[in-house]
Amino acid sequence: MLRWQTLYEGRWIFAILFLLAIASWFATPWLSLLFVALIIYTAAFFRDPEREAPTEANVVVAAADGVVADIVEIDETEVVKAKQKRVGIFLSVFDVHTNRAPVAGRISYRQHREGLCLDARSPDCSGKNESMTWAFENPRATIVVKQLTGAIARRIVGWSNVGDELKLGERFGMIRFGSRTEVYLPMDAEILVKIGDRVVGGKTIIARLP
């Protein structure tokens, strides 16, 4: 499903590809087919299907589509400033890149940080790459989500702001092209996924809170 807010993030890409397709048609018609194919791929990349979130009150859902790349215990130093369980999700260029709220709650923190664009498949990129950190707060817990650029991804988009109340699975932003999204969970959370699992943002339950 295509959605205007998501497609708008690719407006300049669509415009450039469209112009190149027209120009190449007059020069070398067969070459224009390549740009048409790229337009179709770009539209597929910016797809943003509707999702039905779980109804349980104590679950945490994946904040992004992709594959679980790592699950570690690590000190979260930006928001909760305590040891947390981190679930890292790698998004390939073929995944939906919209990010969704892992829990229902109020956004209590949003901070962008400049950085590098290292390969998002590496856990080391978490402390070095450009990122946007979010905190979702409700009576059960404060869940931190970090959006990270990758070697291809160069733009992090935030659609929500501090103070906004989001429902479970509601969209809050996206990352353009291959990237990584991390969800930080309390130490007493029960992790329900394993490395290598494919998850669906806003739908797949990755953990359960006490």
Name the token pair of 114. Answer: 């400049």
Beta bridge partners of 143: 136
| Rounded (10°) angle between helices 11-27 and 29-45 | 170
Q: How far is CA 139 from the centre of its chain?
A: 24
Closest listed residue to residue 173, CA positions, set 150, 208, 202: 202
> Rounded CA gap, 90 and 139, in Å?
29
CB 169 within 8 A of CB 203: yes
Please give the structure tokens belonging to residue 151. Answer: 């070697």
Decide if 131 is catalytic: no
- The DSSP code for 63 is S
Region of 141 (left: φ > 0; alpha: ψ -120 to 50; beta: rest) is beta
The β-bridge relationship of strands 131-137 and 171-176 is unpaired
Q: List residues with catalytic annotation.
A: 179
